Chains A and B, each alone.
Chain A
Amino acid sequence: AQKVTQAQTEISVVEKEDVTLDCVYETRDTTYYLFWYKQPPSGELVFLIRRNSFDEQNEISGRYSWNFQKSTSSFNFTITASQVVDSAVYFCALSETGTASKLTFGTGTRLQVTL
């Protein structure tokens, strides 16, 4: 069965610091998708990125970057020069093919960015 582990429960940083959120996953499938979602205090989950298991290229989008390493089953997320608006709970999730796209979520990492 699939599993997603986000070992960091809460992280607190000062604005402009860089921060990395860890995500480790387990799956027996060779084809799968990994996701990151942001959940601000309002509650809505905001889609950030989707990566399929065959694409190990790292991705950068503005201040956000993702490091996918199949060898260590990790899909870490880095925010560069963090801002107060980045304060939220961040969820890593896994979807296996053949499971009707059901997402398995990690427990989330609460990021607090202060001035």
Chain B
Amino acid sequence: GAVVSQHPSRVICKSGTSVKIECRSLDFQATTMFWYRQFPKQSLMLMATSNEGSKATYEQGVEKDKFLINHASLTLSTLTVTSAHPEDSSFYICSARGVRGTDTQYFGPGTRLTVL
């Protein structure tokens, strides 16, 4: 149980294009999903928290117009990196928390984004 998937696992795009990353909870309903960014050999940095049906809450310093988050259902959240630039290249990981109130976050396998 508590499986979270992410798609795609890897994406390479040209500078200026937009990239959408999907995060799905496969066997549970997730009231809250989180998006993290991880640079090589560093820890995870929380970008935003999204609750189903409402606007995402972004952490300080994260541009909401650049990183669009949508949490349209209890099993799906998407992160769109708009007008991507090479500095957006990173490892993006989502996590999901279930409806039963447990504070445990289950993580997806991550998406490696490379912007050329």
Contacts and interface: CB of A to CB of B under 8 A. Distances in A.
Interface of A: 33, 35, 37, 42-47, 50, 91, 95, 97, 100-103, 105-108, 110
Interface in B7-42: 32, 34, 41-42
Contact of B49 (A37, A45, A102, A106): A102
Given A43-B109, A44-B110, A100-B32, A33 B103 contact: yes
Contacts, number: 53
Contacts of B105: 47, 101, 103
Given A42-B109, A43-B91, A95 B43 contact: no
**Main SS class of interface, B:** strand
Residue from A33, A105, A110 whose CB has the most chain B CB atoms within 10 Å:
A105
Contacts of B43: 91, 105-108
B72 interface: no
15 contacts: A33-B104, A43-B91, A44-B110, A45-B95, A45-B107, A91-B43, A91-B44, A95-B103, A100-B32, A100-B57, A101-B103, A103-B34, A103-B95, A105-B43, A107-B42
B97 interface: yes
A102 B91 contact: no
B46 interface: yes
Given A47-B104, A101-B32, 10 more contacts: A37-B107, A44-B108, A45-B95, A46-B107, A47-B105, A47-B106, A100-B32, A102-B34, A107-B42, A108-B43
A100 B107 contact: no
A97 B102 CA distance: 11
Interface string B39-55: 00111101001000000
Nearest to A49: B104
Contacts of A33: 103-104
B46 to A, nearest CB: 6
